[in-house]
C-alpha cells in the first residue's frame, strides 16, 4: 500500500476552513466508459454535492490523464470552480461497498471518508457521455445506501465567488506574563505536531485514530509522514496557559499542548492513544524565570532556568519518543537545530484560560479526552503546581497556599 494512502488513514484534518457541511458528498466519476482507449473511460471527473450525490453536481472539475488512473493511493488534487482545492487518496483495490480512502479540502477542517461505490447513471456530460460513480467521499461512518437516481439532471450551476477564508484557530489572547516566557518547541521526527484543541465555533478536535497493529502505518509515523505531522497542523495551532501568582512574588504558568494522537514506535507492542496533552511549567519570581518543569508520562521533570536552553525569553523544549514508547517533552540540548517542517523553533498563538470565552473554556475543560489528560483542570493544575515546586526544592521550601486556581483574570 502506498505512502500517500497510509498516511491518510483515519485523518481528521485541521486545515483552514469554514464550518463543516456534514451533508456534503464528493464523487469520483468515470465518464464515457467503453469509449476510451482499450475500452476505458474518456474522462475522469471530480464532482461536489452539498447534499445527495446524484444528478447534476454543484461543482465539477475534469481530472486530466497523467499516465495512470487518478483514483489511486498516491493521491490526486483538483481545484473546483469555487476555489476549493480537494485532494483524494484511494485504494483502487477496494471492493464495493468498503472503505477505499480519504479526501480533504482547503475549506474545511474535517476529512471525508471515501467508499468504493460503482454505480451507472450518475450524470450525463454536455457532450452526451454518461458518467458512472466509482467512489463517494462523505462524513458517514459506514457506507450508505445506493443513491436514488434523479430524472433528467440539469447542467451544473455557475460557480459562486470563492468562499471567504476561515478564522482558523483562536486568535492570540494571553496575559503579558504568560507571553513573556512562553516556550518554543520542536518535534522529533516520530512526533505529531501540536495543533488546536478547540475552534472558534466551539467544536473540539476529534483527534486521529491509531495505526493499531498495522506496522506499515506505524512506520509512516516513524518517518514523519503521518497526517498529524503535516504543516497545516502548525498553521492551525494554539497553546493554552493557566497561571497562578501569590503575594510573595512567585507566579506559576502552566502551558498545555494538544496533539491529535500519541503513537508508539513500530518496533514496540505498546499501544498509544487518540488525543494527547503535554505540558511545560514556568515558575517566575518577581518577573524573572527561575524554575522550569515539563511533563513526562504523567510526571514532571524540573530544572533551574540556567540549565535550560533559551531563544530570547523563550525556553526550548522538544517532543520526543522515549525508547520506542509514547511521547513526552524533553529539554533542548547542545544547541540542536529544529527538525520540524518549518525549520524553526515554534511558538503557537497563546490563549490564557483567564481570558478565554466562558463557553469555549467550559467546552475545552469539560471534554473527556480519553486516555489523555489536560493538567489545566483545577485538581491537575494544583498537582502540577505543587509537584514542580517540590521537585525543584526537595528540602522542602515552604510555599504560601495559592488557594483555588482562579478562572478569570483579575482586575488590575
Question: Given a cut of 60, is residue 160 above it in pLDDT?
Answer: no
Query: Predicted confidence band at 22 (pLDDT cuts at 50, 70, 90)?
Result: confident
CB-CB neighbours of 209 under 10 Å: 15
Alpha carbon 236 to its chain's center: 8
Higher per-residue pLDDT: 258 or 296: 258
Contact 15, 108 (CB under 8 A): yes
pLDDT of residue 161: 39
Grid coordinates standing for 43?
474522462
E-assigned strand segments in 236-298: 239-245, 250-262, 273-285, 288-296
Q: For cell 476555489, name the residue.
A: 83
- HSE-up of 176 (CA within 13 Å, CB side)? 3
What's the whole-model pTM score?
0.58
Q: What is the pLDDT of residues 347-390, one digit of tens each?
A: 999 999 999 999 999 999 999 999 999 999 999 999 999 999 88
pLDDT of residue 311: 98
Average pLDDT over residues 242-269: 88
Question: Given a cut of 90, is residue 184 above it in pLDDT?
Answer: yes
Q: What is the pLDDT of residues 45-66, one digit of tens each?
A: 999 998 889 999 999 999 998 8
pLDDT of residue 364: 96
Average pLDDT over residues 382-399: 76
Dmax (CA) of the chain: 85
Spatial separation of the C-alpha atoms in residues 365 and 378, rounded to whole Å: 9
Spatial separation of the C-alpha atoms in residues 60 and 157, rounded to whole Å: 10
DSSP reduced 3-state for 314: strand
- Highest mean pLDDT of the ranges 97-101, 165-169, 340-344: 340-344
Q: Nearest 5°: phi and psi at 311?
A: -120, 95
Higher per-residue pLDDT: 150 or 283: 283
Query: Predicted confidence band at 77 (pLDDT cuts at 50, 70, 90)?
Result: very high
Question: Given a cut of 90, is residue 299 above it in pLDDT?
Answer: no
Average pLDDT over residues 8-27: 60
Question: Given a cut of 70, is residue 334 above it in pLDDT?
Answer: yes
pLDDT of residue 216: 79
pLDDT of residue 37: 82
H helices of 83-143, in order, are none
55: left (phi over 0), alpha (psi -120 to 50) or beta: left
Amino acid at each position: 500500500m502506498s505512502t500517500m494512502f497510509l498516511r491518510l488513514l483515519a485523518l481528521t484534518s485541521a486545515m483552514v476552513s469554514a464550518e463543516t457541511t456534514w451533508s456534503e458528498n464528493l464523487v469520483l466519476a468515470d465518464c464515457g466508459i467503453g469509449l476510451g482507449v482499450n475500452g476505458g473511460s474518456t474522462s475522469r471527473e471530480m464532482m461536489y454535492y452539498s447534499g445527495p450525490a446524484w444528478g447534476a453536481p454543484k461543482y465539477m472539475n475534469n481530472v486530466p490523464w497523467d499516465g495512470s488512473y487518478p483514483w489511486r493511493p498516491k493521491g490526486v488534487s483538483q481545484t473546483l470552480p469555487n476555489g476549493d482545492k480537494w485532494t483524494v487518496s484511494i485504494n483502487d483495490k477496494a471492493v464495493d461497498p468498503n472503505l477505499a480512502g480519504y479526501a480533504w479540502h482547503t475549506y474545511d477542517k474535517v476529512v471525508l471518508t471515501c467508499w468504493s461505490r460503482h454505480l451507472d447513471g450518475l450524470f450525463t456530460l454536455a457532450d452526451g457521455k454518461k458518467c458512472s460513480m466509482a467512489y463517494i467521499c462523505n462524513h458517514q461512518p459506514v457506507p450508505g445506501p445506493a443513491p436514488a437516481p434523479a430524472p433528467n439532471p440539469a447542467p451544473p450551476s455557475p460557480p459562486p465567488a470563492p468562499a471567504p477564508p476561515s478564522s482558523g484557530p483562536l486568535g492570540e489572547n494571553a496575559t503579558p506574563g504568560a507571553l513573556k516566557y512562553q516556550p518554543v518547541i520542536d518535534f522529533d521526527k516520530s512526533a505529531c505536531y501540536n495543533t488546536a484543541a478547540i475552534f472558534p465555533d466551539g467544536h473540539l478536535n476529534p483527534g486521529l485514530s491509531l495505526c493499531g497493529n498495522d506496522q506499515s502505518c506505524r512506520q509512516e509515523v516513524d518517518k514523519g509522514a503521518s497526517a498529524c505531522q503535516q504543516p497545516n497542523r502548525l498553521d492551525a495551532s494554539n497553546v493554552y496557559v493557566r497561571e497562578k501568582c501569590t503575594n510573595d512574588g512567585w507566579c506559576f504558568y502552566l502551558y498545555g499542548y494538544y496533539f491529535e494522537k500519541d503513537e508508539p514506535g513500530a518496533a514496540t507492542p505498546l499501544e498509544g492513544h487518540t488525543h494527547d496533552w503535554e505540558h511545560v511549567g514556568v515558575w517566575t519570581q518577581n518577573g524573572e524565570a527561575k524554575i522550569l518543569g515539563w511533563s513526562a508520562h504523567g510526571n514532571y521533570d524540573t530544572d533551574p532556568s540556567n540549565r535550560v536552553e533559551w531563544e530570547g525569553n523563550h525556553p526550548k523544549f522538544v517532543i520526543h519518543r522515549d525508547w520506542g514508547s509514547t511521547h513526552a517533552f524533553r529539554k533542548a540540548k547542545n544547541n540542536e537545530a529544529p527538525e520540524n517542517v518549518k525549520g524553526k523553533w515554534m511558538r503557537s498563538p497563546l490563549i490564557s484560560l483567564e481570558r478565554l470565552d466562558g463557553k469555549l473554556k467550559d467546552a475545552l475543560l469539560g471534554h473527556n479526552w480519553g486516555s489523555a489528560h489536560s493538567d489545566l483542570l483545577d485538581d491537575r493544575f494544583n498537582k502540577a503546581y505543587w509537584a514542580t515546586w517540590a521537585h525543584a526544592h526537595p528540602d522542602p521550601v515552604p510555599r504560601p497556599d495559592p488557594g483555588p486556581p482562579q478562572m478569570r483574570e483579575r482586575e488590575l
